[in-house]
Structure 1
Amino acid sequence: MSTFQPFTRLPLELRIQVWTFAFVDDRVLKFRRSIPDQGFWSPTPVPAVTRACQESREYCSYQKAFLILGFPRYIWAKLSCDIVQLLSSLMSNLSETPIPVRTTITYLRIELSIAGHNRVDPEWFYHSYSQQFRHFPCLQHCDVLVDDGLYNWGDFIDETYWGTCTKSNVRIIDAKTGEYINKATAGPYLDWIDTGRGEGSNYFRIDDCWDEEDEEDVKQRWEAMMEMEKGLPRVKLA
């Protein structure tokens, strides 16, 4: 506002539109649990628009979220587009806490075995955490950050319950490199590793939709595997 002095003379309706559209799409909102029973907090910097003035805080797209009755903590969030990143161990804490905004979260990014926590393998996650997704009825996208490489997670997307999130919107991300596999690339990636990066011809992965006697199926599987030669896509991790 200090660089545009006439702003305060604009009609309120126009100023409201400015505040409403002042948000960052796909902002990564890191989510942490404070001392037991003291609510939640975030190390992510608060949105600049919430610090502009009282009017901006009143009309901006960000809302005070994750409030727990009796505790003053809150987190500025726009859950229709924020990527909520949390440790897997917090999924049960969040799902069991009476926080209405939990049901509006659309994008989760789950950290597994990061920052010194015990290793979480696919089977452990499946039995301990996958059923927690039912507590997020608006979930549309989900990332899982792993620190033991992607190979062990190749079948994980297809075999896991993701609630309302379609499997095509799930990514398994290597927390060290940012490389990821999804429903479309997980199978070819496993084939790529199993065949010594395309040097062999024997597949270990079972694909019920694949007919080894069908030339077209054989060709398509080979071509999909050889796409891995270009390398996996990456996401930028903070």
Structure 2
Amino acid sequence: MAVTFHPFPRLPTELRLRIWALAATPRLVHISARPTEVVRWRRIAPNDFSSAMAPPAVMHVCRESRQAAAYQKAFFTMVPGEHEHRYIWVDFEQDMICLADDRVDWLEPYQADIRRLRFTVPPGDRGDLLFDVFGSVSKKLMAPFTALRELHLAISEYFCAWGSTWAVCGFGPCARENVRFLDLNTGLLLTGPQLEMAYTWQWQQGGRLSLLLTYTAI
């Protein structure tokens, strides 16, 4: 049951602002991006962005909460028949931008604003292709994310095999110790060295990942 704290407006301004700041917790902001116009396989117009995320609750409380929050309007999209751009509320300092695919280039022009990013390795042939070339293109792919400090790769197929790419991958401005690999089937989140060890155990020595995790937990 929600309880209203009626004396809240009488609290010191500094304390109220601190409370509003604490109310803005980090979120996983799932965003879909697609080009609006493509000619000869090249994007020639701004991208369309969409998200099923509800606006942060703190943006609906009062004027003071909106002014104190670190959220900003981003990922603008003009919808035909509408007079104003649609947008997504984002706190680039805390929120992790999550893509359901690997098209990080479609996040332009917000690449330089994103601090935390998760993209998804697609299943099937496209995922196989990305696996084959990621070691040679990863550094260039991530270079536009000049403020990036945390990166997650979400993987649904051949999770352990990605451990073989760790030694040769570059992640642009993101420090390697802040890169994680997420198994979408189990929810397992590993660092690069952990995934590399899992790859060695499972694929080169015939071990099972579940046994390795049991062993390392002892």
Q: Which runs of 5+ in 2 are unaligned?
A: 37-45
The letter for the 1-side match of 2:48 is G
Give the structure 1 partner of residue 205 of structure 2: 195
Q: Which runs of 5+ in 1 are unaligned?
A: 199-224, 234-238
User: What is the RMSD computed on CA atoms of the aligned residues?
Assistant: 3.2
**Cα distance between partner residues in 1 of 2:88 and 2:163:** 34
Residue by residue over 1:47-84, the C-alpha shift from the partner in whole angstroms, topping out at 9 and shown as x without a partner, is 11111122211211222223368961211111112111
Is the counterpart of residue 174 in structure 1 residue 191 in structure 2? no
Over alpha carbons, which structure has the higher Rg? 1
- Label 1:229 to 1:172 Cα distance change in 2 as closer, same or farther (>3 A): closer
Is the counterpart of residue 24 in structure 1 residue 37 in structure 2? no
**Cα distance between partner residues in 1 of 2:97 and 2:216:** 24
Q: How does 1:122-201 map to 2 (within 5 A)?
A: 122-126=131-135, 130-193=139-202, 194-197=204-207
- Label 1:62 to 1:195 Cα distance change in 2 as closer, same or farther (>3 A): same
**Cα distance between partner residues in 2 of 1:117 and 1:58:** 47
**Cα distance between partner residues in 2 of 1:174 and 1:47:** 28
- Label 1:64 to 1:4 Cα distance change in 2 as closer, same or farther (>3 A): same
Q: How does 1:36-47 map to 2 (within 5 A)?
A: 36=36, 37=46, 39-47=48-56
**Cα distance between partner residues in 2 of 1:232 and 1:65:** 42
- Label 1:192 to 1:38 Cα distance change in 2 as closer, same or farther (>3 A): closer
Give the structure 2 partner of residue 208 of structure 1: none
The letter for the 2-side match of 1:9 is R
Is the counterpart of residue 12 in structure 1 residue 13 in structure 2? yes
Higher strand share: 2
Give the structure 1 partner of residue 119 of structure 2: 110
Shift, 1:231, TM fit: 6.8
- Correspondent of 1:59 among 68, 78, 97: 68
Q: Counterpart of 1:39 in 2: which secondary structure?
A: strand
- Label 1:136 to 1:232 Cα distance change in 2 as closer, same or farther (>3 A): farther
Residue by residue over 1:138-157, the C-alpha shift from the partner in whole angstroms, topping out at 9 and shown as x without a partner, is 11111101111223211222
Residue by residue over 1:9-65, the C-alpha shift from the partner in whole angstroms, topping out at 9 and shown as x without a partner, is 33434322222221113x211111268256322222221111112221121122222
Q: So what's the TM-score if we normalise by structure 1? A: 0.71
Shift, 1:227, TM fit: 8.2
Give the structure 2 partner of residue 85 of structure 1: 98
For the 8 Å contact 1:140–1:169, the answer to whether it is kept is yes
**Cα distance between partner residues in 2 of 1:39 and 1:6:** 44
Q: Report how many aligned residue pairs link the two structures.
A: 201
Q: So what's the TM-score if we normalise by structure 2? A: 0.76
